[in-house]
């Protein structure tokens, strides 16, 4: 019986090896299967966050994944956004902050916009990345519909007429 043990171990090693490979394989997820589609002109904020939460609840935050957006324009508004209490250096300290997407305590995640435009409306942080390891953002263009702050140059000041 003792002679069979080494042979049994040798026979089982490939299965153990391939099982561990299957568990660590990167899973690619197309967010359009969650209803997140570009070029609708509607608020994508709640839909994107709901999709991300659903994915994390199914596979966890440590499984290697690629979150893929179909190429196009996605509009993010404060309505339906996440709120977080963040203290950011060289930034206003009003809390809670409105956040378009937040990735917190995640490992091995790639967010691939495939050349998409993420357009933010109102006063909000586009994407918060907190305590992550090996997180990649790629092929994403972030912009705001209107500038969050404006600068002006005063050319005249009439204190008598109040203009």
Average pLDDT for 120-141: 94
Q: Please write the tens of the pLDDT for every residue from 77-104.
A: 999 999 898 887 877 778 898 999 999 9
- The SS3 assignment for 104 reads strand
Domain range summary for the chain, segments of one domain joined by +:
26-144
Cα–Cα distance list, 16 to 10, 21, 139 (Å): 10, 9, 36
H or E segment to which residue 108 belongs: strand 107-120
Q: Measured between alpha carbons, how far is 54 from 62 in angstroms, rounded to an integer? A: 14
Q: Is residue 19 scored above 80 in pLDDT? A: no
pTM over 0.95: no
Q: With contact defined as beta carbons under 8 Å apart, do 137 and 106 qualify?
A: no
> What per-residue confidence (pLDDT) applies to 141?
97
Q: What angle do CA 21, 25, 27 make, to 5 degrees?
A: 160
> What per-residue confidence (pLDDT) applies to 71?
98
Tallying the residues shown for the chain, one arrives at 163
């Amino acid at each position: 019986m003792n002679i069979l043990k080494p042979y049994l171990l040798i026979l089982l090693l490939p299965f153990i090896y391939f099982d561990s490979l299957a568990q660590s394989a990167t899973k690619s997820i197309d967010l359009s299967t969650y209803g997140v589609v570009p070029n609708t002109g509607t608020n994508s904020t709640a839909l994107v966050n709901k999709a991300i939460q659903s994915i994390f609840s199914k596979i966890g935050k440590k499984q290697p994944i690629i979150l893929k957006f179909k190429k196009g324009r996605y509009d993010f508004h404060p309505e339906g956004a996440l709120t977080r209490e963040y203290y950011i250096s060289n930034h206003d300290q009003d809390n809670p902050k409105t956040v378009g997407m937040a990735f917190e305590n995640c490992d091995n995640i790639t967010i691939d916009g495939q050349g998409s435009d993420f357009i933010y409306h109102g006063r909000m942080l586009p994407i918060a990345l907190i305590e992550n390891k090996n997180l990649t953002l790629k092929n994403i263009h972030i912009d705001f519909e209107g500038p969050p702050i404006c600068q002006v140059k005063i050319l005249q000041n009439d204190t008598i007429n109040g203009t």
